[in-house]
Amino acid sequence: MLSSLRAAWPDARIDWLVQQEFTEVVASHPALDSVVSFPRSRLRGAWRSPSRALRGVRWASGLRKHGWDLVLDCQGLARSALFTRCTGARRRIGFADAREFGWIHYTTRVRTSVTHAVDRMMSLVDDLGIPRVMDMDLHASDDAIDWWSSLPDRPAEGYAVFAPRSRWPSKEWPAKRWVELAHRSGDLGLQDLVFVGSPAESSSIESLASEIMSDPSASSLRVHVLAGKTTVGQLMAVIRGSRVVVASDSAALHMAVGFRRPMVALFGPTDPEEVGPYGCLDSVLRDPSATGHGHDYRSGAGPAPSMLSLGVDEVFGALSSRLGVGA
């Protein structure tokens, strides 16, 4: 969407309101003028804290000072829709079916029947009557790239990124299968494996790495655990330089799209037709009998049956195919 807006209006000031923790994802994009940071963590629980509520009101009221003429709500929730109203923009565009009655805050409500999240967002561009520019590229900051290139014990070129965890256990592939896949990766010329994840996932990923390296057959492997040790921007730099990314439905997977990295995407309870790696659905592995969409994945009970149905041989075969190596 950003690239489309910039191509249509090269002299416009274009800003992006994004959750504070994720500003690095878009801050270095050449088509963007500036980022407006939403301090969600500092405002969480405002409904039960008068001081936080007041802080939130002051922040939202400050959106009007930017003087935007046009605001597009790509998320379609009550909160994001309310922010569009707070901007005071004359034209506020969003989805006609925005959840939680968010649509009441728009001046223009776009109806769309397309499935994938990217195509839904691009329908807002279509309503503006400007051409689509399907540029999915991400841009890591110079600081993040420099951090990665100068990191002690940095893996050798040609490393693979593995993202074994997810916020929701239902989307995860069993740990034992990650261990087996790692052991077999050397057959494909992958000697350096970089495991990534959030701070909350670091302990379990450290345990996974220890299990991989405890097997004598893994003596030729070098496992690097960066879970909980990178910012979002630094994670982008890591994925930018990778040879391949293997991940479930997670941020790492979609970053691989933005840096045009080969990938193996493991899907189960979420539908890749809705939220899969855009333009790369041929890299998705999902059991044909798998079902699920929307928020069906929000379960803490462990891997969904559809994730359990993905075997190591299947994933290894897909990995060898992405690398162009005969399995």
The Cα-based distances of 289 to 132, 286, 292 in angstroms read: 34, 8, 10
In this structure, the strands spanning 108-110 and 91-95 are: parallel
Q: Mean pLDDT across the chain, nearest whole number?
A: 93
The domain 2-128 is classified under which CATH number: 3.40.50.1110, 3.40.50.2000, 3.40.50.300, 1.20.1260.10? 3.40.50.2000
Q: How far is CA 175 from the centre of its chain?
A: 21
Kindly state the average pLDDT of the residues 213-217: 88
CATH topology match: 2-128 vs 142-323: yes
pLDDT tens column, 163-211? 999 888 899 999 999 999 999 999 999 999 999 999 999 999 999 999 9
Give the per-residue pLDDT at 56. 85
The model carries a pTM of: 0.91
Give the per-residue pLDDT at 301. 67
Q: Which fold, 142-323?
A: Rossmann fold (3.40.50)
Q: Say how far apart CA 75 and CA 242 lie, in whole Å.
A: 30
Give the per-residue pLDDT at 300. 60
Kindly state the average pLDDT of the residues 263-288: 94
Q: Say how far apart CA 109 and CA 124 lie, in whole Å.
A: 9
Domain ranges across the chain: 2-128, 142-323
Q: Which two tokens stand for residue 119?
A: 């195509």
Q: Say how far apart CA 80 and CA 77 lie, in whole Å.
A: 5
Which of 48-52, 91-95, 133-137, 232-236 is predicted least confidently?
48-52
Percent of the chain past pLDDT 90, that is, above it, reads 83
At 297, is the pLDDT very low, low, confident or very high (cuts 50, 70, 90)? low
Residue from 39, 4, 1, 36 nearest 20 by CA: 39
Q: Which two tokens stand for residue 74?
A: 């790509």
At 292, is the pLDDT very low, low, confident or very high (cuts 50, 70, 90)? low
Mutual angle of helices 232-240 and 142-149, in 10-degree steps? 60
Residue from 8, 175, 32, 16 nearest 83 by CA: 16
At 326, is the pLDDT very low, low, confident or very high (cuts 50, 70, 90)? low
What one-character-per-residue DSSP string does 93-145 give? EEETT-GGGGGGG-SEEE-----SHHHHHHHHHHHHT------------HHHH
Which of 45-54, 278-287, 288-297 is predicted least confidently?
288-297
